[in-house]
Structure 1
């Protein structure tokens, strides 16, 4: 049974969320956007610093300001286009119109210059909010992406380019994965009725939680059920990628780029803790959260944390040539997650892509040494850029003998047949996308070692 909130806690939560007016929140969002533009820093860092220097703002205020900032970043290029200016104020105003659908009078009501509200609309701003459109905007503007990535995206998306880019600029859904080590989705649903979730379209253990008009969802990480290990917060696309890895009880499985452990936990759940599961990551810092997550979920996995400095050694060397399945959730640009991290697309540079490709080369080569004859490498990215996906595997297959692609359609038909009509099948794998599958843009391919 869920415990009732004590009256004082309820009162404190209400007070926390009523400090700033909507107009003052807009002013704060403009301030944060200006900081991001001036210092070219992640939005999360700018929002954190703003909160530290404005401690009178409650948690509800901070969440609402974050929603305004992320919406503005999602539509930065198109907002600047309709406003004729890329200043932070203009980007925010444009996003209120494009992302939140507010008409000019509603926006004007927020801009009164009273009690921390922004300055009133100018005559030109009002005209642009009333008449501005994207009819003649080039694809990079209408789709809100850096122009230099368009050739990459167009080679994958073709005539679906603009619909996919528009989907990539919308807010992401809030998904959770029910932990089968505790109970099935059907068994858990009565205890999670208060979240009003709906089963995800494809993932059998997924639940989609509704979010409010301001983009906020419930604080899932403090729910008693979360603390008891009932579920993990995980995009449906990530859940599907883990399922398409086809883990099996009795196997030795290495999660080579485990990070915080999201897919490690999913693999343990899928195999009922019946596989020997080893989680590692080249960066020890990324592994820090995995220990508490394993404890909470009841997942069984061995964590091998590399040492830093001169004592650094290969902590997986004893497994070379013996592993049944190596899951490579590869470092990438994250171009498939721009709904969640819209600031990342504006900070991405061609040099960053080259760095990620070099890292993908390294992890694929390491995976090749681990896998046994007859075993598989499962290559996963959260990117829509073909150079990180089929391109990375082209290069791997060209320099590495003895590996062959497992047809992605065969894997889907075997594991998730209902997904086949929604994904894009590529030369080596499959691509999910916001417009086609409603998920982040995950890519999955299976390679089998034949000799």
Structure 2
């Protein structure tokens, strides 16, 4: 397919998403099924265009003064891909391609900008979130939100139970892998606008358990928890086991690691992942009925890690259509879920032990406000000074402190500041 034909296909997919009100991934899959002639490169390029339109949905429509699939695609080409009116016009010749630009579209592309656009339009996020983002970022919220709309790189975590970063860097050189800026155990592969995700799952390092796909921010969150060999550690919201695996590596296979989740379906992949990673000290406890799988854990845990259920605002660059489906009521539900899991963790931690509270959110109610509420209910807990938690980064700790947002409760990482997904990390020690 030509670049112009791919553009026309992207407009078609966006129209389907609008008309059928279905997730982008489903619309792209259905388009691919009904257009068998499109090769893998074509499908990847079309998907890249669609995801970029969703990332810049509001600003693209504003720029073109036309909130239609075609208008959003044309606006995105200027805002996200950096194309000028001439380059865009060259793709729109009407032959297996979008129709030629109208006078109004050409004028919009050459004369309109986001200079007078409201913050939620320029930053491409739902208007009802503006007050929350203003509370944490102030006048920088457009820049922060724009960074959250960019395409994320592919980050990998080296499993130190099986490999060293230097060796894996060498073996993945053909993929363009380099070290992550902050994590001492991370690798990063940059991805262009039309790039396909490399087949990491077919790489020998992955098959042997030497690497796992994990955003650098998630790696740092696990590192900040400071799990140590010989400790009793509980991953309370383990899900598929990403942070469980990171904790196991930090513990060097020594001590007691327990992983559980309220939704047993989320735990399904964890057993195979633990086996591949060579983890032998993890007890996966799958909930059965109403029984508490952690009923025997009472004030004995050195560390309880909470990868809390949250709004996911910090992962918008990986899942851009999720932000447009988000509603205020969903946030309220998540806040209640977070309170419940924090209360559950409080009774498991021994004196001197700690809770690592983590969200992939940038919203204050889920982060600092949630921690302050917990400490008010449980004065026996106090936040560990953020500088202490970041000391695990050694010579990078000072630079990280200058980049991330610090509060008394913990660290907030963002794509703009730290180049990671948006993550909040608070470590709370029981006195």
> In structure 2, how many angstroms separate the alpha carbons of the residues matched to 1:314 and 1:136?
54
- Who is 2:248 aligned against? 268
- Who is 1:332 aligned against? 310
> In structure 1, how many angstroms separate the alpha carbons of the residues matched to 2:224 and 2:9?
43
- Who is 2:70 aligned against? 89
* Superposition map of 1:211-250 within 5 A: 211-250=191-230
- Who is 1:413 aligned against? 391
- Check the 8 A contact 1:171/1:215 in 2, yes or no: no
- Check the 8 A contact 1:40/1:347 in 2, yes or no: no
- Who is 1:375 aligned against? 353
How far the C-alpha of 1:285 sits from its partner, in A, is 1.4
TM-score (norm 2): 0.95
- Check the 8 A contact 1:424/1:430 in 2, yes or no: yes
How far the C-alpha of 1:27 sits from its partner, in A, is 2.2
Which blocks of at least 5 consecutive residues in structure 2 are unaligned? none
* Superposition map of 1:233-382 within 5 A: 233-300=213-280, 301-307=282-288, 311-382=289-360
Which blocks of at least 5 consecutive residues in structure 1 are unaligned? 1-19
> In structure 1, how many angstroms separate the alpha carbons of the residues matched to 2:154 and 2:103?
39
- Deviation string, structure 1 residues 317-353 (Cα, Å, up to 9, x no partner): 1123221100000011111111111111111111111
**Which moves more between the two structures, 353-362 or 290-299?**
290-299
**Which moves more between the two structures, 220-229 or 96-105?**
220-229
Compared CA separation, residues 359 and 55, structure 1 to 2 (3 A):
farther
User: Is residue 439 from structure 1 mapped to residue 420 from structure 2 by the alignment?
Assistant: yes
3-state DSSP of counterpart to 2:402:
coil
- Who is 2:9 aligned against? 28
- Check the 8 A contact 2:383/2:408 in 1, yes or no: no
3-state DSSP of counterpart to 2:172:
helix
3-state DSSP of counterpart to 1:420:
helix
Q: Aligned residue pairs: how many? A: 427
Compared CA separation, residues 62 and 320, structure 1 to 2 (3 A):
farther
Aligned counterpart for 1:430 among listed residues 398, 411, 420: 411
Aligned counterpart for 1:72 among listed residues 49, 53, 56: 53
> In structure 2, how many angstroms separate the alpha carbons of the residues matched to 1:204 and 1:382?
21
- Check the 8 A contact 1:413/1:420 in 2, yes or no: no
3-state DSSP of counterpart to 1:319:
coil
3-state DSSP of counterpart to 2:168:
helix
> In structure 2, how many angstroms separate the alpha carbons of the residues matched to 1:394 and 1:39?
42
How far the C-alpha of 1:89 sits from its partner, in A, is 1.2
User: Is residue 128 from structure 1 mapped to residue 112 from structure 2 by the alignment?
Assistant: no
- Deviation string, structure 1 residues 72-130 (Cα, Å, up to 9, x no partner): 01111110011001111111111111101112222222223323x22222221122112
> In structure 2, how many angstroms separate the alpha carbons of the residues matched to 1:68 and 1:275?
47
- Check the 8 A contact 1:82/1:134 in 2, yes or no: yes
TM-score (norm 1): 0.91
> In structure 2, how many angstroms separate the alpha carbons of the residues matched to 1:216 and 1:290?
26
- Deviation string, structure 1 residues 209-231 (Cα, Å, up to 9, x no partner): 12234243422222222112121
- Deviation string, structure 1 residues 18-71 (Cα, Å, up to 9, x no partner): xx3322222222222223223443322222232233333332222211111110
What is the Cα-based RMSD across aligned positions, in Å? 1.6
> In structure 2, how many angstroms separate the alpha carbons of the residues matched to 1:317 and 1:59?
50
How far the C-alpha of 1:157 sits from its partner, in A, is 1.3
> In structure 2, how many angstroms separate the alpha carbons of the residues matched to 1:207 and 1:49?
33
